[in-house]
Chain A
């Protein structure tokens, strides 16, 4: 149907342009998370979930880091409270994204606000902010198109992981676990642009190692808090330097 509407009105054709742009922009980021989605699917099978349960995690929760942390907890201690607390801590960065988009979506309908919120991820936030900076205005079409593209690729890769997890025993030996490490390194390291972020990363990493050895259940949450706290404290000291750098 879209191909027939060549003589469509201006808003529709420009919406298509925005949609295409959104899909092009988010695709590399979405493809980089494919190994990670495969891991979420196969790990879910490994810890004993049914294929339906594994797919529902990606369909409903739709948060890679939170899903992986939850699966790791299910595989070891399995307490619901530590699953919920780690989900909240990991997802709390979305509060920030939500606050940034707030002024742009506040007057939209409840349905649109719910949709944009549901498809809000790190990657969608990153490309939508870049679009906003370039065009000087927020586009709901852009945000939704990039978010939905990401959602589809995430769920297809989870599905692939579920299939692989059922048919290939000991899939974790193929190094999918390392894919998480590689993905996070690729996202975190190039984004260290000031001293406070560096301090936050180093302190979180060091405490994660020490805590993993002594109290694995809470290592992720406590290390994250330590990293946030140390980064926050450092920022104050080099505020002037930051301004010069920017």
Chain B
């Protein structure tokens, strides 16, 4: 059946397309332009420098190395946990699984500060060790090491890997391994012959996704690693902002974009395979019975709680206690503008800024997202193209986006460089895929017969939209809005490029305060982080409560 659209509808559909063109494609093309033609002529010298210099090759290799290492550790930890989660049924399992996804919405600056508060040289763990063994020095020196970067990457990605592998494992069931046991296979043989080969697709899919996330990790590496552990992302930021070598930064961005593209292709294929094989769901999780099983399940719960919640608790603790006493003055100090600070305003202003931008970005992303979702959902060629097109910002690193913004939008016709508007616009772009992915599943789930029934009963198209479609996707809209709000509140990479002195956002303020030498700044950073963490956690709880099956899956 062919559907003809009224002209007004076409006009509406151009809105998100124009937005994407102006604020995504145009900046990316500008990056290409600068990297390939820095002075208006084709000039590959920036690339030659990249290739010739061991330093930049080292950056790329280190980016791959840390991502591979992080992926390996994440999978290694996720594998036994996923087995226990898929195999056993116990109280609180689904809550634990969903709580484990909290890091997904936590801003990188918050997490970086949380781990510094727990494992840093002045962190809680060192305090504890010093008191226990009466040491003069801090025994754990993890700040600015690869170890802490990898620990944080595992923290971030464990839940994603856990969800993918657990879901897959539960769907293929455990009959085959029981069959193998009856045929004489011991524990080792079962892992080698049955479990690992069978969950290979899930392992590859989860591995690809985690690798992509770690490959583009920015805030964590910047704050906890520093320039000594520069990944591509950090190097782009450093070249563009500190040294102002735009052509080299653009060349690095191009490398980044191309690697991301290649990885996304691999991931999409792996994921398709995964969905093809996920056919039956006959597997039943077993209740926990023997003492050994209870012990295994309890240690899994403890491990997850330890990894996920101790850093966050350490952050809260550090912000509320100073020198062993309760002291919430850090929160009062948010009103104070420190003279020496790199942050030129009182920290509290960043809160107001972030809230304002988040509201604007949510409104923008919701409007564009709704239009796009309706466009994608209807049959036709336009829809087929639009679906992957609007997912692209998700596959582009925030640093690349931010860099693209400052090189593309700094001159007429579009000069937004010094306007604060550029921040909510960049956040809208980053949040858009989340909104679309939240609305689409519920929109697709509406049976066409409902609209037809409404039509037969006399409802015209706008009435059908208002009375049938919108009420039925209500939940998806709330989830999408919450996603947009949380993403905007926590966005760091792009904001770091585009935020000005007065338009500073909370994550950027935290980063600057944390970099300041003073104790007051440090405590301000902690207090701001706790507030941001709470906002994002509330958003997360709302999303988890309201999400319907399939919402927010990427």
Q: Is B one of A's binding partners? A: no
Residues of B near any A CB (own CB < 8 A): none
